[in-house]
Structure 1
């Protein structure tokens, strides 16, 4: 009986650390894409009819896409992206993007959370591969003109 008590005590001592590690890996603060302004998106030509992915604290714009142009902001620099070779259509733009040292895939759920006269917003995820890491974040995809 004493042996199982010791095993359960040891297991429960390890459990909080495992939960904390999972939570830290999935927090919005780990999102390496910085909020973008309209001027940032204009700099890369990624404005107009297309989509903006919003996520992280305050659900700010983190990825802007229009036609065959997209942009993100990392480390204070606007990074222009182009459609990847395997890109598929996504509301007058594309779902897969590449730039210097970065690849982003947008996965739209189709679940509408907001709709207006010229836009629709859905739950969506981005998966980013950069710096040898691949990570995914949930946010909202706002598409329109």
Structure 2
């Protein structure tokens, strides 16, 4: 029986996306290089594309692909609605544990000053009591629910 072409296409897209990201990231060296000619010259200096083996440890995927994969893992659970949002949050927290050695972009939660400048305004609650989370430190599943260990502000 032939494979499901939608799943096959999705899988191929994920693999090619990760390989392309690792190549373009080049272990942080090319991530923010906006000069195509400079990148092409460095690629030629490396012996050209055919002489590169995009594999660890020299060619890791970027923080973007780590979180892209976290989203894919959450979507693969088949959950929907609020359950899916909790699943995505769980996988993002897990993905953040794999950020060592990567260079986060300006919208990453690893750069709180930039992220805070882009954060939405707080909600005003009727009773006036509100708590702000400084950082999500960890997460776990207990009884089918997702629990978070947080560092509270203030």
Same fold (TM over 0.5): no
Which structure is higher in strand share?
A: 1
User: Where is the helix percentage greater, Structure 1 or Structure 2?
Assistant: 2
TM-score of the superposed pair, with normalisation by structure 1: 0.23
TM-score (norm 2): 0.22
